[in-house]
Amino acid sequence: MKAEIITIGDEILIGQIVDTNSAWMGEQFNLNGIEIYQITSVHDDHDHILQAIQNAEKNADLVVITGGLGPTKDDITKHTLCEYFNTKLVFHEPTLKTIYERFKHRGIDMNKMNRDQAMLPESCTILYNKMGTAPGMWFEQNDTIFVSMPGVPFEMKYLVEFEVLPRLRETGKTKAIFHKTVLTQGVPESMLAERIADWEDALPKHIKLAYLPNPMAVRLRLSAMGDEVEALKKDVESEIEKLQEIIPEAIFGYNTETLAEVIGRQLVLQNKKLALAESCTGGYISHLVTSVSGSSALYQGSVTSYSNEMKEQLLGVSRENLEKYGAVSEQVAREMVEGVKRVMNADYAVATTGIAGPTGGTEEKPVGTVWIAVSGPEKTLVKKFTFVGDQRDRNIVRSGQTALQMLRRMVLGEL
């Protein structure tokens, strides 16, 4: 089943609000074996809405419309739908009763505009909206299903979950679908694609691969569609096993896991403690670690030593190395990580020092130059990275994620 989503509202087109409805619906429909063919946003305009619905019917089995169902005069969706489906508005007593009870409960008097919400297209199936006063509407025409819902997110979500999806499953037109996302770090997207090209080319036809890169990781989402979820899951897991043999060092987790969560589990299993010394990342790694519930079981603390004085006083970095090599250097990164591990009495430690940008770079040390050090019970490793670009936030995220990946591999004995 192919679907198109149409969102109605000038507020979306002028950037006053972000269309989070389509993103949520896209995910929910996809999980239920419904392919989103297109997402369209249109003005609060009769002709524009009609044109969008006509175009959608040509390509989709399901057309989902949100917005324009409120009590105000600019909400014209119902009237436009009546014209499109050659029907008329009629009074719907159960809807009026629902609206009346809702207003009574809130101690508010109904007005004519609220009563008008009980005027609904005669040919539609009414979808009960427990969360609001405007019901959803279900139409069928030329083998295409049309669903119109309010644009208020929590009302739309209720209708999708409890009215729309159950009805769509009953049609027998939805397919089983299974997704799993492989999380990788440390290998750029282009290099990753090159390394796994043969594996990708050999994927079964019912499994699709999508590259989803961001500064934190390159996600590889495998999507399989067929008749039975368990069979699809088995097929996807089999392909992931093959992938693990090709890029074992890059894969750190699956689906919504974070590096901090993965590392945290390992440290708790090993009963080890972690400390951090951050300069260019300014506490970002500490934030990632402490965002994980239960991190107090493994995390000792951190030192955000931005100035050279703090590097000396709190971490024991030598003034000689600071003056001779500079704060952004292998020598200083090494002293930072070993210093914080000693001061915090930790088993593992991570340190970062670099130039996040957009200013501060030199020809010798351009913006994006970062030294990362990790130290464990047996050794200390220090590595230089040069991240391309002068976007400060992006360089901080890249530095933090790279540092955690180095730590993960050391904790697992891979470094």
User: What are the φ and ψ backbone dihedral angles of 297, each rounded to 5 degrees?
Assistant: -70, -15
Mean pLDDT of 185-189: 94
Q: How many CB atoms are closer than 10 A to CB 96? A: 18
Q: If pLDDT is split at 50, 70 and 90, which confidence band does 124 have?
A: very high
CA distance 202 to 264: 35
pLDDT tens-place string over residues 212-238: 999 889 999 999 999 899 999 999 999
Q: Looking at the predicted structure, is the pLDDT value of residue 104 above 90?
A: no
* 196 touches 246 (CB < 8 A): yes
Q: Report the 10 Å Cβ neighbour count for 381.
A: 16
Kindly report the pTM of this predicted structure: 0.78
pLDDT surpasses 60 at 44: yes
- 3-state class of 129 per DSSP? coil
Tell me: pLDDT of 73 over 70: no
Domain final position from 254, 284, 310: 254
Q: Is 286 exposed, middle or buried (0-12, 13-18, 19+ CB in 10 A)?
A: buried
pLDDT at 380: 98
Which residues, 6 or more positions from 272, have their beta carbon under 8 angstroms from its beta carbon? 298, 347, 348, 377, 411
Alpha-helix residue ranges (DSSP H) falling in 39-181: 46-59, 77-84, 93-106, 112-116, 153-159, 165-170
Specify whether 166 is located in the same domain as 192.
no
In order of 183, 222, 354, the CA distances from 213 in angstroms are 10, 14, 23
Residue among 366, 338, 361, 356 at smallest CA distance from 392: 356
Distance, CA of 138 to CA of 117 (rounded, Å): 16
Residue 226 shares a structural domain with residue 369: no
Q: What share of the chain is helix, strand, coil (3-state, %, to 5)?
A: 40, 25, 35
Cβ neighbours, 10 Å, residue 375: 27
Return the CATH number at 163: 3.40.980.10
CATH number at residue 358: 3.90.950.20
DSSP 71: S
Q: Verify that 242 and 308 share a domain, yes or no.
A: no
Band of residue 72 on the pLDDT scale cut at 50, 70, 90 = low
Query: In the chain, pLDDT over 90 holds for what percent of residues?
Result: 84
Distance CA(49)–CA(210), nearest Å, equals 32
Helix (H), strand (E) at residue 195: helix 189-195
- Domain count of the fold of the chain: 3
- Whether residue 112 has pLDDT greater than 80: no
Is 241 in the same domain as 164? no
* Whether residue 288 sits in one domain with residue 217: no
Could you give phi then psi for residue 371, rounded to 5 degrees? -105, 130
**In the predicted structure, residue 92 carries a pLDDT above the cut 80:** yes
Does residue 377 surpass a pLDDT of 80?
A: yes
Q: Is the four-CA dihedral 249, 255, 256, 257 of positive or negative sign?
A: negative
pLDDT of 71 above 70: no
pLDDT of residue 215: 87
Q: Indicate if 157 and 212 belong to the same structural domain.
A: no
Same domain, yes or no: 405 and 271: yes
**Cross-strand bridge partners of residue 393:** none
For 295-322, what is the mean pLDDT? 97
Q: Name every residue whose Cβ is closer than 8 Å to that of residue 267 and which is 6 or more positions away in sequence.
A: 273, 274, 298, 347, 348, 411
Give the model's confidence band at 173: pLDDT under 50 very low, under 70 low, under 90 confident, else very high.
Answer: confident
Same domain, 186 and 314: no
Average pLDDT over residues 48-75: 87
- Which pair of tokens denotes residue 110? 């109904």
Q: Taking residues 8-14, what's their average pLDDT?
A: 92
Whether the pLDDT of residue 205 is over 90: the answer is yes
Sign of CA dihedral 355, 361, 362, 363: positive
Residues 230 and 319 in one domain: no
115 confidence band (pLDDT: 50, 70, 90): confident
Let me know how long the chain is: 415
pLDDT surpasses 60 at 312: yes
Taking residues 110-128, report their average pLDDT: 86
> 268 and 377: one domain?
yes
pLDDT at 70 over 80: no
Position 105 confidence tier, pLDDT thresholds 50, 70, 90:
confident
C-alpha of 111 from chain center: 41
Residues 310, 186 within the same domain:
no
Nearest in space to 316 (alpha carbons), one of 287, 338, 292: 338
> In angstroms, how far is the first alpha carbon of the chain from the final one?
48
Check residue 324 and give its pLDDT: 97
> Residue 40 pairs with which residues in a beta bridge?
6
Q: Average of pLDDT values for 300-319?
A: 97
pLDDT at 389: 87
- Whether the Cβ atoms of residue 243 and residue 199 lie closer than 8 Å to each other: yes
∠ CA 276-354-217, rounded to 5°: 70
Range of the domain at 88: 2-170
Q: Is 247 in the same domain as 128?
A: no
Report yes or no: 220 and 181 within 8 Å, Cβ to Cβ: yes
Model confidence pLDDT, tens digit, residues 270-296:
999 999 999 999 999 999 999 999 999
CATH number of the domain residue 201 falls in: 3.30.70.2860
Q: What is the mean pLDDT of the segment spanning 241-245?
A: 98
Mean of the pLDDT values across residues 356-381?
A: 96
Among the candidates 143, 170, 197, a domain finishes at 170
Last residue of a domain, one of 230, 254, 278: 254
Place of tokens 């819902």: 149
